[in-house]
Structure 1
Amino acid sequence: MLVEGIKSRPVYHGIAADPRARRHIFVLEGEGARALLEQEPSLTPAILASTEILYVARGSAGEGHVEALSALGADVAWTAPTVETLLFRLKAMLAVAHMGTRLYISGTEGFIGKAMQVALDQGMDYSTIPTEHRGSLARRVQCVHCKGVTEDVATTPFTCSHCGLSLLVRDHYSRRLGAFQGVCIDAEEPGVRPEPEALFL
């Protein structure tokens, strides 16, 4: 039911510490911790001494990620209680960051979108920020009709949590909003819509 060939669909090329960077900020959510932990053999003492890790254990509690990230020996390894707290700290860090600081983001698509919004608001260029998708495929979707955003959408169509319309989830992605777009699927024939498909698990 998705429209093929939408060019705005994000592409995640993976994260790897840039040895030329003066400072590294890894922003990780849930399974996104593995994106950094899998690089441990290539993380030199010099890289780790200039690395700050911001992590939120959403969706992966009890898997030892907090302990494993701390054991890397980075300059700073901080675990946030919520995504919002992590993003608040990230905003403060980027506001005082110096030239040569690299930002890396890994986690679910919704998390990547939110962290990218913070970076863009601080003047960073999205093309310079390595990202890696890890964890759930659930999407962050904005209703184009009421402008409300629904988190963790796993099916299409789904009912907007703000206005109640039945929305088709499109592959069209807004970098500014950090969300996919949802459009009313039964606008011409109210109530006539296909059964929801679980496409984003």
Structure 2
Amino acid sequence: MLVAGIKSRPVYGGLNVDANARRHLFALEGEGALALMEAAAKAGNNFLKTADVLYVATGSRAAEHDKALAALGPDTIWQAPSVPVLLNRLNVMLGQTHMGTRLYLAGTEGFIGQAMQVALNHGIDYGSIRCEHRGSMARRVQCVHCKGITENVTTSPYICTHCGLSLLVRDHYSRRIGAFQGVNIDAEEPGTAPHPEELFP
């Protein structure tokens, strides 16, 4: 159950390597590692001599991705124990980054949205960041009523983990908070919400 016609849904153009960039900064989550591997296969490995890679392992094949990323031979590679730790490291690195650095993000939408927030806080233009969605379609959702954010929402409607309302997950996306919006589906007749459907596996 989705509402048609909402135009704020993010569109990701992929990790196309910028041949004119002086440095490349990759923030990758889980299967986002595959996006960098495919970009390297397409563009060649030369750009990796000036690339910094931040990676957080998620999913069942995380160990394989670690080794494959290291085998690419980037200038630096750092593996974070969790998404919040990676985002903190990204924040520090962006504070020290010079002109001519291109930022690339790949992973789930929740990860991309949070990393995008870090970049926007440093004044990086939204349109200049190259992104690719990889992995689960699960959404990061903000309840518009209590403002609580729930990670990894796969169904609509779903019960808000903060206030308990039954929420319709909309395609409306807030770039400012990096989350989709959830709206009370049975506000006028409490208890009449339809059964949840898995829409974002």
Amino acid at match of 1:55: Y
Structure 2 residue aligned with 1:43? 44
Structure 2 residue aligned with 1:76? 76
Q: Distance in 2 between matches of 1:65 and 1:97?
A: 26
1:48 deviates by 1.3
Cα deviations across residues 5-50 of structure 1 (Å, max 9, x unaligned)? 21110001111211100010011000100001112232333x1111
The TM-score with structure 2 as length reference comes to 0.97
Structure 2 residue aligned with 1:160? 160
Q: Call closer, same or farther: CA 1:60–1:105 in 2, change over 3 Å.
A: farther
Give percent identity, aligned residues only. Answer: 65
Contact 1:170–1:180, Cα closer than 8 Å, also in 2: yes
Amino acid at match of 1:77: I
Structure 2 unaligned spans of 5+: none
Structure 2 residue aligned with 1:59? 59
Contact 2:95–2:122, Cα closer than 8 Å, also in 1: yes
C-alpha root-mean-square deviation of aligned residues, in Å?
Answer: 1.0
The TM-score with structure 1 as length reference comes to 0.97
Cα deviations across residues 37-66 of structure 1 (Å, max 9, x unaligned)? 112232333x11110000000124445000
Q: Which runs of 4+ in 1 moved over 3 A?
A: 60-63
Amino acid at match of 1:67: K
Cα deviations across residues 96-149 of structure 1 (Å, max 9, x unaligned)? 111100000000000000000000011101110011000000000000000000
Q: How does 1:110-189 map to 2 (within 5 A)?
A: 110-189=110-189
Q: Distance in 2 between matches of 1:180 and 1:89?
A: 25
Structure 1 residue aligned with 2:107? 107
Contact 2:57–2:63, Cα closer than 8 Å, also in 1: no
Contact 1:31–1:60, Cα closer than 8 Å, also in 2: no
Moved more, 55-64 or 174-183: 55-64
Structure 2 residue aligned with 1:198? 198
Cα deviations across residues 60-94 of structure 1 (Å, max 9, x unaligned)? 44450000000111000111000001000000000
Amino acid at match of 1:169: V
Amino acid at match of 2:48: L
